[in-house]
């Protein structure tokens, strides 16, 4: 068989193996991610987020579902922040660990972010899925310190009013980026039964 056929077979097998690994690792964690699969933010969108949210050096940025850690790396490079990413997908976690290897003040945790407390975060970044946004807004309401910034790519946080909505100019990347401030939100509506049964 000619050499080019061998090269073609090896490349096709490698590509197939990679795709298969992606499908298996994504499928394995689907009950936890609930549709927020491993898709990375583009450079343009991360730049738009960083332009809109300047961070003093030393602040703590948390990426809920950090993929390959690109948001953490770019934020760290631009603002000298401390950056922590949570990632449950084994393939994404491995890529994040490799790409962030040796970076000072960048941490990658293979952990379900629903099980972590966010009270120390100055900025929380997420690019998730509509099915989890309601639960996430409750968690952020309960745990964030006043003044903390929340950045959500593509999907709004129910019940929260954005301080700003950014749309990067490029037509390919112009889905909204919602920016919120914790503590500036309206209090939740009273429970239906509140005040009905005096005590
Ligand atoms: C759309 S990707 C975004 C990746 C990265 N933040 C970015 O913008 O490039 C969402 C990621 O969140 C992860 N994820 C979803 N739910 C999670 C959870 N409960 N705990 C940890 N990671 C989660 C997924 O595995 C996926 O890699």
The CB density around residue 40, as the number of other CB atoms within 10 Å, is: 16
Task: Domains for the chain: give ranges and CATH numbers.
Answer: 1-199 (3.40.50.150)
**Residues near 3 by beta carbon (within 8 Å), at least 6 away in sequence:** none
Q: Is the pLDDT of residue 47 over 90?
A: yes
The pLDDT assigned to 1 comes to 83
Four-CA torsion 147, 176, 124, 96, nearest 10 degrees: -160
Q: Is the pLDDT of residue 192 over 90?
A: no
* Token pair for 150: 């929340």
Instruction: Express as a percent the part of the chain with pLDDT over 90.
Output: 83
* Pocket of ligand 1 contains residue 42 by CB under 6 Å: no
Residues in the chain: 199
Alpha carbon of 38 to ligand 1 centroid (Å): 6
Counts for the chain of helices (H) and strands (E), in that order:
6, 7
Tens digit of pLDDT for each residue in 91-103? Answer: 999 999 999 999 9
129-146: average pLDDT: 97
Alpha carbon of 127 to ligand 1 centroid (Å): 7
Alpha carbon of 193 to ligand 1 centroid (Å): 37
119-127: average pLDDT: 98
Q: Work out which ligand 1 atom sits closest to the CA atom of 70.
A: 9
Q: State the chain's mean pLDDT as an integer.
A: 93
CA 181, CA 161: separation in Å to the nearest integer?
Answer: 9
CA 144, CA 148: separation in Å to the nearest integer?
Answer: 6
Q: Is the pLDDT of residue 61 over 80?
A: yes
CB 107 within 8 A of CB 83: yes
Listed residue (17, 74, 81) closest to 41, CA to CA:
74
**DSSP state letters, 172-199:** GG-S-EEEEETT-SPPPPPPTTTTTS--
Out of 23, 24, 27, 33, give the residue to mutate to test ligand 1, the one with the largest number of ligand atoms within 8 Å of its CB: 33
* Token pair for 53: 């949210």
- Calculate the CA 183 to chain-centre distance: 21
Kindly report the protein residue whose alpha carbon is nearest to atom 20 of ligand 1.
Answer: 112
The pLDDT assigned to 24 comes to 87
The pLDDT assigned to 199 comes to 46
pTM for this prediction: 0.90
């Amino acid at each position: 068989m000619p050499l080019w056929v061998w090269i073609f077979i090896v490349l096709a097998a490698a590509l197939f193996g990679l795709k298969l690994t992606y499908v298996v690792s994504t499928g394995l964690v689907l009950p936890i991610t609930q549709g927020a699969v491993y898709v990375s933010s583009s450079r343009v969108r991360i730049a738009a987020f960083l332009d809109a949210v300047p961070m003093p050096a030393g602040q703590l940025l948390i990426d809920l579902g950090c993929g390959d850690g690109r948001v953490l790396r770019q934020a760290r490079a631009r603002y000298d922040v401390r950056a922590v990413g949570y990632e449950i997908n084994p393939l994404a976690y491995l890529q994040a660990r490799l790409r962030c290897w040796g970076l000072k003040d960048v941490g990658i945790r293979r952990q379900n972010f629903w099980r972590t407390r966010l009270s120390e975060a100055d900025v929380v970044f997420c690019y998730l899925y509509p099915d989890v946004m309601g639960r996430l807004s409750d968690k952020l309401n309960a745990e964030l310190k006043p003044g903390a910034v929340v950045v959500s790519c593509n999907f709004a946080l129910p019940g929260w009013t954005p301080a700003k909505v950014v749309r990067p100019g490029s037509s390919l990347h112009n889905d909204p980026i919602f920016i919120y401030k914790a503590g500036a939100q309206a209090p939740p509506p009273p429970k239906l039964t509140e005040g009905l049964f005096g005590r």
